[in-house]
Structure 1
Amino acid sequence: MNIRIPKNRWEALVRLADMSADAVKILFAELAKVPPQKFGPDLPDQIAESLKGSGIENVSVIADTLFSLIPLLISSGKPVNEVVEELLNAIRNQAPSGKNLEEDKIEQLRANLQKLLRVPSIYMGAKATSVLTDNQSNFLSARILTDVRPVFELESTDVAAAVILHNLKISFASQGDSEREFFVSMDAVDVQSLISTLQRAQQKADKLQKIFNETNLLLINPERI
């Protein structure tokens, strides 16, 4: 596995290597409280807020870097210890000039990563997000712009009637692409058809939720703002 370490991650990796066993224990305990559905881009700041006064510095940066390693762990399909060793080798080989980690720091980083990458709820949240978004395209947002268009009388500029037209804009992201969008025009019948389709989707989800509740199987619905 070819691991490339971005320059903006070095400082956080150094701080991870500097964390004491007690600090790692505190961070692990805080991460373990997080439900899988809470995993998302705002989580590092939320963890930092929760650990104010703990004496651990740069929690948000450390957590963000830690979370950035989990997709690597997921995609590799390898055990944590193997991924950590490959990451440590990359750190040895790619360290910027003057920022090489001494072996005692490498050992401390190994122990810290072995611990923190094994937080079950964080792994499950990241894994669920990975499975949920592993599609050709993913929905981002929608907006409807409504227009009234006049219908003119024959051979006249007098308005005889009007029609209502809805323009639906869908924003989406495709793998390897930035945000894209497309537009589709709809009349009242189309809008009702779309509403009915979405309602059926919600009904299906509610029934599946009930089945999961009855079997005590966790259903992860990532929260988004």
Structure 2
Amino acid sequence: MAIQLRLSKTQISDLKAIVELGSETLNRLAEQIETVTPPPFSPPELNRVVTETIRENPEAVDPVTRQLLSFASLRRRRGLEVDDVLSGLKAALRDSGTEVAAAWEGTEAAFRRLLSSGRIATIAKALDLSYDYENLVQSARIVTDVRPVFDDELSRIDGAVVSFTLRLKYVSLEGDNGISLAMDKGDVEMLLRECERALQKATLATETLSKLPIRTLISGAGTHE
């Protein structure tokens, strides 16, 4: 199945970093990913394996992890074979007119091996499932306002009211969205308790499932550290 890809500047920069690693290093990384115990199950765990394997090229760690998971996710979501992805990638590099296109030939086989890894596919699947929702939060903050209370003659301030506004930014199929919700002190305290309970539940679920043993991925864990 022929696919068309349009590479961003970030993707081209990442692929350049991958090419500069060379096929020998990429094959060594593929071997490590396939044999390390326990196998990586989340992006941070994969990032650690990549870091340990190519420690002499720390600047390439994020590009490798980012592009592997990006193309593995694309392959999964669109039901593509590895050859379909690589064919589209090669054409996109050629169309980009950069020097990466010519150098990619010597890297493609090693990148194919990485992209064909069942462990990479599992991480991409877990990552996709953790964000497979209609609306995804991008940011959240609580704004605290102090509002003065004036006397009728506007000659003095008799007091002040402290209020709160929860501001959420989220993305949906329609694009970026935002909503602001007025809150009082009790609402803030309730939200704090619910957040603490949610984290406790996630920890308990992870600890319980690990005894089965079942690997677990908490959405976003390790990405905000």
Q: TM-score with structure 1 length normalisation?
A: 0.68
Distance, in Å, in 2 between the alignment partners of 1:159 and 1:195 is 32
User: How far is 1:19 from its partner?
Assistant: 4.7
User: How far is 1:130 from its partner?
Assistant: 1.0
Distance, in Å, in 1 between the alignment partners of 2:56 and 2:206 is 39
1:88 and 1:77, CA in 2 relative to 1: closer, same or farther beyond 3 A? closer
User: Residue in 2 aligned with 1:66?
Assistant: 68
Contact 1:143 1:168 in 2 (8 A): yes
User: Residue in 2 aligned with 1:27?
Assistant: 29
Contact 2:75 2:85 in 1 (8 A): no
2:4 pairs with 1:3: yes
User: How far is 1:84 from its partner?
Assistant: 2.1
1:142-170 deviations in Å (ceiling 9; x for gaps): 22221222334566644444321012222
Contact 1:167 1:186 in 2 (8 A): yes
Which of the residues 84, 87, 105 maps onto 1:86? 84
Could you say what secondary structure the match of 1:68 adopts?
helix
Q: Which amino acid aligns with 2:25?
A: A
Q: Which amino acid aligns with 1:137?
A: N
User: Residue in 2 aligned with 1:118?
Assistant: 116
2:207 pairs with 1:197: no
1:35-67 deviations in Å (ceiling 9; x for gaps): 332349x949x946851448xx96765554433
Aligned residues: 212
Distance, in Å, in 2 between the alignment partners of 1:31 and 1:219 is 18
Could you say what secondary structure the match of 2:162 adopts?
strand
Could you say what secondary structure the match of 1:135 adopts?
coil
Q: What are the residue-to-residue correspondences of 1:36-185 with 2, within 5 Å?
A: 36-39=41-44, 43=47, 47=50, 50-53=53-56, 61=63, 64-78=66-80, 83-90=81-88, 95-96=94-95, 105=105, 109=108, 111-153=109-151, 157-175=155-173, 177-178=175-176, 180-185=177-182
Could you say what secondary structure the match of 1:215 adopts?
coil
User: Residue in 2 aligned with 1:216?
Assistant: 213
- For structure 2, the 5+ residue unaligned runs are none
Distance, in Å, in 1 between the alignment partners of 2:158 and 2:68 is 65
Could you say what secondary structure the match of 1:36 adopts?
coil
Distance, in Å, in 2 between the alignment partners of 1:142 and 1:164 is 19
Q: Which amino acid aligns with 1:51?
A: I
User: How far is 1:202 from its partner?
Assistant: 2.7
User: How far is 1:212 from its partner?
Assistant: 0.9
Distance, in Å, in 1 between the alignment partners of 2:149 and 2:194 is 31
Q: Which amino acid aligns with 1:38?
A: P
- For structure 1, the 5+ residue unaligned runs are none
User: How far is 1:208 from its partner?
Assistant: 2.0
Which portions of structure 1, spanning 4 or more consecutive aligned residues, are displaced by more than 6 angstroms?
A: 97-101
Distance, in Å, in 1 between the alignment partners of 2:197 and 2:90 is 54
Q: TM-score with structure 2 length normalisation?
A: 0.68
Distance, in Å, in 2 between the alignment partners of 1:206 and 1:7 is 37
Contact 2:114 2:120 in 1 (8 A): no
Larger radius of gyration: 1
Distance, in Å, in 1 between the alignment partners of 2:170 and 2:139 is 7
1:63-113 deviations in Å (ceiling 9; x for gaps): 5443331111211335xxxx1222354467664479887xxx59x73x434
